Chain A
Amino acid sequence: MAVNPHSELAKMEQIITEFFAKSLHIILESRCPFVSSRNYSGERSYLHSSSSSMRPRDKWFNLALRDCPAALENIDFWRQSNLEPMVVDVVLVQRHNWDSARSSPKLALERNLSSNNRWRLDSDEFGCGDGEKVIERWIVRYESKKGCKEGSSGNKRANSSTSSHALYKKSILLLRSLYVTVRLLPAYKIFREINSSGQIRSFSLIHRVYTSVEPLVGRDESEMQQFVFTPVDTSSGKLCVSLFYLPSISDTTSESSTPMSPQFIPDYVGSPLADPLKRLPSLPMPQYSPSSSPFGRRHSWSYDTRMASPPSALPSPSPTYSESRTLHSKFGSQRPPISSRYPSLEPAQGHVKDIGYDEYLHSPNFSPSPSPSPSPPVGGNMLKVLLRSDSAPVYIPASRLGDGPLSSNKTVLPFSPPLKATRPSLSLVERSSSIPTTAGKLSLREEEIAKTSGVKISSNSSPHKSSSRSFSRLSFEDSYDDSDFSGHFVVDDDDMINPDSRPGSSDRSGNLGTPHERIKSQDAAVGALVQMLKKAPPLQQDLNRSQNVCKPSRPENPFNQIQDHPPHASLSMSSSRVSGIKTTSDALEELKVYMDVKQMLLRQSGKP
């Protein structure tokens, strides 16, 4: 059957014409933002879902496309054109003077017959003063071969029957590639961005379709890259699709909500870099001054850090410690991370301790006030500390015991402000007659007496008040500059303690023997305490022995000496008794006191 060449030519022309329309449809479908979001749901929406109701134009090239009003308005024109080249410019418009009334772009058709006889579809009728930038230029044209339009009826018959088929098949492939390529270009992202949200943006996409290729303005052409689709050769010519595009247009849409790459924000709210209050001077040795501390308790973190930095000389935490100690050790374990997180906070340990100390001050069980009438809980605290020696190592500032001046020892008692006053162990009391039940009151007095008379005071009957005070003081002093310490204790202790004395010094440590001068380990302190208790005479003791003990200034064995001082619940005992000058009546009275105390202790121990 002979193939009518004219029909073939007509078919080819029809294929080319439809190709122009289809390519314009593909381009504008993905470059022309819809006014209403209803038209674009993010997914393809087809008016005709089944092939039976497929529109004729959808069947062309076996590619059913989404409706595009902008494309549909121009398709008829291209169907009527004489295969003139089609140039589609995709223009990015930056609107500097945005007017809400112009939020809906209008399509305006202008036919400029004067110049190039071109159709100009301009959706930019209000772009006065707006920045425009051509980001894509699509050129679709059919280059006919001269002299080959009308093929001879000879040997080209066989080819013409397949030429339209081949042309059609290759056109299908080309349009497939065009469809995929359109979605891989940068302009597609802008299109999706405009369509995705209903926000009014300062930029938009418009398109212009020309029938002639006009040179690009300014440096647009130099910035553009070219991509040429392989032309589809036909017997009468070749179908070409080429593209000029800007490889990157992100700078023009900088205001867009493009998700940023993850960034590290150094000055986030709450960070030490953002909060000037959290910036601490990086001093290696802070000049501690609680009054000048700028932090106070404004921030919990600062409080926590202060809590987290106990004195370095503190013993390692023991599980049998009290709650406060547990609390303290818990924060202590957190010291490294906090320090690393806030490196400038490290020198502020002095402040930390001050706050921590203040916290202890407010502890109900802890009364650091060296008032003349020391509170029983203090004595109870001391007893608590002593009792703990059975189950846990306890640092005992032996240098403080029985001695007015706080001297020499680096040992500190642990931080344990909320010490629960417990009933003293009878066994301990029995071992040491010098352990007062209400030692607080006595201890102060005894300490005063000892200080004035130079009598060594054993650790047992030591001014428990001073001991209890001393441990807290020592806990600071071992880590702080003694001279800078200006807490309550210091003020109170100034009455009794030589302010020139420093921990570790033995200025007035004539009372301190060498074995007790420095107790650096908990075990040694416990051992010392145990020894002291062992050596402590019973409550009932020889009066003569007590008289001998009361001799002044024998620092060798202060514990042995101090044990001779009977515990007394009241301050009524005069200093003359302690001094050793006693009469017989005094001795008898003293014996009576001893008896009373003993019975009281027995009664207390007998209670459950």
Chain B
Amino acid sequence: MVAEEGEVAEDLIEILEASSMPIDLARYVNHVCDPVVGAIATFEGTTHDTFGEKCILELRYEAYVPIALWHLRAICSDARIARPHHRLAVAQHLSTVLIDEASIFVAASVVDRVDTLEACYILIDEVKVSVPIWKKV
């Protein structure tokens, strides 16, 4: 596991390398929980069982970890500029991910409900377009 705190200590960013265990979703939800916040939003990217005409049993992920980590840190930082957040958490599972398991998990806590949902949207959207992570069917 490669973990790194974001620019703000409240962010938890982890890339789980060569782990056979599913992402511990509670770990990241607990990280963003705080009595001062009014809402927590999460996004869980799961593996579906088809890819075109192929029947999928599992997906494998790889990443250029050093760049992926600073990209995730930058994304969290940009998200804070757009909307002040209380805490953010991102976990990306590498290696093999089974059907219905999470490959990526994002959690955000903000005071305002709308901002919380938008935080998750911004984070996952940026991960898909800019972080060097690849899936292999």
Q: Do A and B bind each other?
A: no
Residue numbers of B with Cβ under 8 A of A are none
